[in-house]
Amino acid sequence: MSRKKSLLIGINYTGSQNELRGCHQDVENVAQFLSERGYSDDPRSQVILRDDLEGNYYPTGHNILAAIDWLVSEPDTTNFLHYSGHGGQVQDPTGEHPSGVLDTICPVDFQDNGQIDSDMLHQHVVRALAPNSTLFVILDCCHSGSALELSLVYRGDDDGNVNLVDNIKQGVSLLGEANDLFQGGRGGSFNVAEAQDLYAGATSFFRSFKHMGGGGGSGLEDGGFEENRGEQKMVTMFSGCRDDQTSADANIQGMSEGAMSWAFLETMKRIPNPSYIEALSDTRACLKESQYTQVPQLSVGENFDLNQPLAL
């Protein structure tokens, strides 16, 4: 049996104007779930970062990246990463993306030291994953649909069907809609914020396509396909929402939790060994039943049969 490692990050931003309430509880809930799934809570196998902890376990940007590097560093391991906190967007420093923004996660010190953008996450999480290893990721935050820039994105609909998002077609469509807004379309109403959201959505689709080999390279050097150079790597991610949506704090039986984290764990209770499709569609259904509009997504680094059991 391969060694199992986990990294759980929960940030409530306590005492700030950005305060959340459910992220610490998410960490506790996920830790209990992982314990039931054979993950050890030994410090050599599990690291928890929360903003009620100190030192190396305080979730600054530096500590988060260091912990991620630790998580993905060993070959022949099964790895689990959970993040519950704020997600956002920052200006693209490279100028390569049409929207001019990148999706992010927000460390506790993001106002002083900046956010961790999707390019950096792809480098530290996907490209750095050691050979012959797997990584399962849950990002319970806003604007998280393409935060790891994985190649293939799946989304469920209201009827329980799961479909592959057509990155090219949807990216072109989003860019067209945004351009229409900038030029006074939709009855002449000009909405800069809406247009920027559309451009951001288009950028995420084109950026993920770049890692499939559509951006001028083979895609292998970018690590988009995790099976390369003879190495077997597999990265899958459940995100709390689409790129253009926010993720909610939920109140479950008087306790604050992240809505997506709660719904995913509820799904795993209902269906102990779901397939990838069942896990995604049931998580969506669970959120909808509780009146949450956010749409969870499944992103993967390579094409495989989603009817096989979810690998944790």
Active-site residue, selected from the candidate residues 23, 106, 142, 241: 142
Distance (Å, whole) CA 247 – CA 31: 21
Nearest to 90 by CA among 108, 62, 110: 110
Alpha-carbon gap, residue 248 to 220, rounded angstroms: 35
- The SS3 of residue 74 is coil
> 84 with 47: CB under 8 angstroms?
no
DSSP letter for 152, please. Answer: E
Write down the catalytic residue from 86, 97, 124, 211: 86
Please state, in angstroms and as integers, the Cα–Cα distance from residue 77 to each residue in 31, 108, 118, 229, following that order: 18, 29, 24, 18
Lookup: tokens for 70: 């630790």
- What own/partner pairs with CB < 8 Å and gap ≥ 24 does 62-65 have? 62/113, 63/107, 64/9, 64/105, 64/107, 64/116, 65/116, 65/120, 65/124
Residue 141 designated active-site: no
- Nearest-angstrom CA–CA distance, 238 and 80: 11
Distance CA 312, CA 306 (A): 14
Q: What is the DSSP letter of 309?
A: B
Q: CB-based burial of residue 253 (10 Å sphere; 0-12 exposed, 13-18 middle, 19+ buried)?
A: exposed
Active-site annotation holds for 23 = no
In whole angstroms, what is the distance from residue 82 CA to residue 264 CA?
12
Return d(Cα 88, Cα 117) in angstroms, integer: 9
Compute the distance between CA of residue 312 and CA of residue 308 in angstroms, rounded to an integer: 12
- Half-sphere CA count of 181, side-chain side, radius 13 A: 15
**Catalytic residue annotation:** 86, 142
